[in-house]
């Protein structure tokens, strides 16, 4: 069956690739590219098919064309994919990283807000010129595919004046940018493949260069709960990285996907600009975690977006080692705490023993009862593991609960729930089951 649109050609090409029918896939991608020259994926996959057919030199020509075109067009992650493949073919081709870095680094005058290029239209019909390509094979198909792959004359997009930043990388100087990209691992997965497994160690994080991914958490009964869908430019895996905890969910490819893996060990071993890279990585992961917290933590739900961002700016971050006491029973509380990463345990004394009341995780707050009641802490809170907590000074909390009734209502409700838990614990005579 022959396709009638670019979208149909792409779907059939993906199927042919999965069946290792590389010539058939090449013909379909070439027909798609002929009909829609702006289709970056068709150009990339044309190069992939040429490489799978052993035509390394021809593939390199198309990869190089795509890398330069995508970088100038405002699709830098597609360019990184092509350059990483080229680097694996010939180390000298890694020199293409330098112009990409100069375009997208912190010192570039072209990185900023601007109109994004319009994606290619997959619904366009295959042209009369494209249809004969479907019947080609052998050297004729190779020649036609290479000619299409290196030809940009029919592309309609103009190169924009301003280019979108790349997460993390656009915070670096051009030298550090290149150094980091040299450590990046390109991970290419077919539709349905697993990219991250829940429970695995978190030693790296990822940027989606192409395709769609689904994040799902596996429950104790084996069911999978969807959490998010990730597309081009999305970052994932940084939460486990910063908290040094196992992966909290599975990540699977909904479509064929290319992702860039940045391993912390490789980044930390860089001799050039290591300190700058470490600072940028730390700042980047923290900002990501804070934005995730703003979007999901119950504390921020009563607030609009402007109020949320203003509130989170008032918090001061503190790194704490395991077993560090943040609040001590019977002592005054310095402010309202919010768990950014890791976990904290809430303890209460029962004679000479300490009994665990609860364990709080990212997004949970504590210290609200003592602040609202203007009383000493009724329990001790200590870090259950290496954690990051945000502290909002008690003076600012007092101002907030006066001006934001919804926030006061939330904190009072939370305090009532925890007071009830504590009373139940007392009524049960300090039961040894934790809450």
pLDDT in tens, 118-130: 778 889 999 999 9
Token pair for 192: 């349905």
Q: What is the pLDDT of residue 136?
A: 96
Is 367 part of a structural domain of the chain?
yes
pLDDT in tens, 390-424: 888 888 888 877 777 777 777 777 666 666 655 66
What length does the chain have?
A: 435
Regarding whether 128 and 46 lie in a shared domain, the answer is yes
Regarding whether 91 and 32 lie in a shared domain, the answer is yes
- Find the domain containing 102 and state its range: 6-163
The residue among 256, 272, 288 that closes a domain is 272
pLDDT class for 427, splitting at 50, 70, 90?
A: low
pLDDT in tens, 260-300: 998 878 877 775 555 666 677 677 777 777 777 777 677 77
Q: What is the pLDDT of residue 307?
A: 78
The residue among 129, 163, 197 that closes a domain is 163
CATH number of the CATH domain containing 195? 2.60.120.10
Regarding whether 21 and 159 lie in a shared domain, the answer is yes
Regarding whether 122 and 198 lie in a shared domain, the answer is no
Q: What is the pLDDT of residue 129?
A: 96
DSSP per-residue codes, 184-231? PEEEEE-TT-EEE-TTS---EEEEEEES-EEEEEEPTTS-EEEEEEE-
Is 32 part of a structural domain of the chain?
yes
Whether 114 has a pLDDT exceeding 50, the answer reads yes
Is 22 part of a structural domain of the chain?
yes
The residue among 163, 191, 210 that closes a domain is 163
Whether 428 has a pLDDT exceeding 70, the answer reads no
Of the candidate ranges 47-56, 225-234, 369-378, 410-419, the one whose mean pLDDT is the lowest: 410-419
Regarding whether 250 and 322 lie in a shared domain, the answer is no
| Most confident among 100-109, 236-245, 338-347 (mean pLDDT) | 100-109
Whether 425 has a pLDDT exceeding 60, the answer reads no
Neighbour count for residue 172 (Cβ, 10 Å): 25
Q: How far apart are CA 61 and CA 12, in angstroms?
A: 25
Q: What is the pLDDT of residue 431?
A: 46
Is 293 part of a structural domain of the chain?
no
Q: What is the pLDDT of residue 235?
A: 85
Q: What is the pLDDT of residue 290?
A: 74
CA-closest candidate to residue 411, choices 380, 372, 385: 372
Q: What is the pLDDT of residue 432?
A: 44
Q: What is the mean pLDDT of the chain?
A: 86
Is 168 part of a structural domain of the chain?
no
Regarding whether 83 and 41 lie in a shared domain, the answer is yes
Regarding whether 249 and 322 lie in a shared domain, the answer is no
Is 278 part of a structural domain of the chain?
no
Of the candidate ranges 66-80, 82-96, 156-170, 410-424, the one whose mean pLDDT is the lowest: 410-424
Contacts of 44 (CB under 8 A, 6+ apart): 63, 66, 78, 81, 82, 210
Long-range contacts, 305-309 (Cβ 8 Å, 24+): 307/404
Regarding whether 141 and 47 lie in a shared domain, the answer is yes
Q: How far apart are CA 317 and CA 160, in angstroms?
A: 38
Is 173 part of a structural domain of the chain?
no
The mean per-residue pLDDT over the stretch 342-369 comes to 85
The mean per-residue pLDDT over the stretch 89-105 comes to 92
Q: Report how many domains make up the chain.
A: 3
Burial of 89 (0-12, 13-18, 19+ CB in 10 A): middle
Of the candidate ranges 87-91, 295-299, 355-359, the one whose mean pLDDT is the lowest: 295-299
The mean per-residue pLDDT over the stretch 156-182 comes to 87
Whether 145 has a pLDDT exceeding 60, the answer reads yes
Contacts of 395 (CB under 8 A, 6+ apart): none
Q: How far apart are CA 258 and CA 144, in angstroms?
A: 26
Is 134 part of a structural domain of the chain?
yes
Regarding whether 136 and 41 lie in a shared domain, the answer is yes
The mean per-residue pLDDT over the stretch 66-91 comes to 95
Regarding whether 28 and 105 lie in a shared domain, the answer is yes
Q: What is the pLDDT of residue 331?
A: 92
Q: What is the pLDDT of residue 418?
A: 62
Regarding whether 196 and 99 lie in a shared domain, the answer is no
Regarding whether 186 and 155 lie in a shared domain, the answer is no
Q: What is the pLDDT of residue 292?
A: 72
């Amino acid at each position: 069956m022959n396709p009638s649109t670019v979208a149909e050609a792409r779907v059939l090409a993906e199927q042919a690739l999965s069946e290792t029918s590389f010539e058939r896939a090449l013909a379909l991608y070439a027909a798609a590219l002929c009909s829609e020259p702006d289709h970056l994926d068709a150009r990339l996959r044309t190069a992939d098919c040429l490489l799978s057919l052993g035509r390394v030199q021809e593939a390199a020509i198309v990869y190089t064309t795509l890398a330069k075109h995508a970088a100038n067009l405002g699709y830098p992650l597609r360019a990184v994919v092509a350059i990483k493949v080229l680097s694996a073919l010939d180390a000298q081709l890694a020199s293409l990283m330098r112009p990409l870095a100069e375009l997208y680094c912190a010192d570039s005058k072209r990185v900023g807000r601007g109109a994004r290029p319009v994606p290619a239209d997959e619904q366009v019909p295959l042209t009369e010129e494209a249809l004969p390509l479907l019947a080609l094979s052998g050297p004729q198909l190779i020649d036609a595919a290479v000619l299409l792959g290196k030809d940009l004359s029919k592309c309609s997009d103009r190169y924009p004046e301003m280019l979108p930043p790349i997460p993390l990388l656009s915070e670096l100087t051009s030298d550090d940018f290149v150094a980091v990209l040299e450590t990046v691992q390109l991970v290419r997965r077919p539709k349905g493949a697993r990219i991250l497994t829940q429970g695995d160690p978190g030693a790296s994080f990822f940027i989606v260069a192409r395709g769609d991914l689904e994040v799902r958490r596996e429950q104790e009964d084996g069911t999978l709960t969807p959490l998010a869908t990730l597309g081009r430019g999305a970052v994932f895996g940084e939460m486990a990285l910063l908290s040094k905890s196992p992966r909290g969910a599975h990540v699977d490819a909904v479509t064929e996907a290319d992702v860039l893996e940045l391993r912390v060990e490789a980044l930390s071993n860089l001799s050039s600009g290591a300190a700058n890279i470490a600072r940028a990585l730390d700042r980047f992961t923290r900002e990501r975690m804070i934005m995730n917290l703003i979007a999901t933590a119950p504390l921020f739900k009563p607030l609009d977006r402007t109020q949320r961002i203003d509130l989170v700016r008032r918090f001061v971050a503190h790194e704490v080692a395991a077993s560090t006491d943040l609040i001590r029973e019977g002592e005054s509380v310095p402010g309202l705490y919010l768990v950014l990463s890791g976990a904290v345990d809430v303890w209460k004394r029962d004679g000479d023993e300490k009994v665990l009341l609860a364990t709080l995780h990212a997004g949970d707050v504590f210290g609200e009862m003592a602040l609202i009641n203007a009383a000493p802490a009724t329990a001790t809170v200590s870090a259950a593991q290496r954690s990051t907590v945000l502290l909002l000074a008690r003076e600012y909390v007092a101002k907030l609960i006066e001006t934001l009734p919804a926030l006061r209502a939330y904190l009072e409700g939370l305090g009532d729930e925890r007071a009830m838990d504590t009373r139940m614990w007392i009524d049960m005579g300090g039961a040894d089951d934790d809450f």
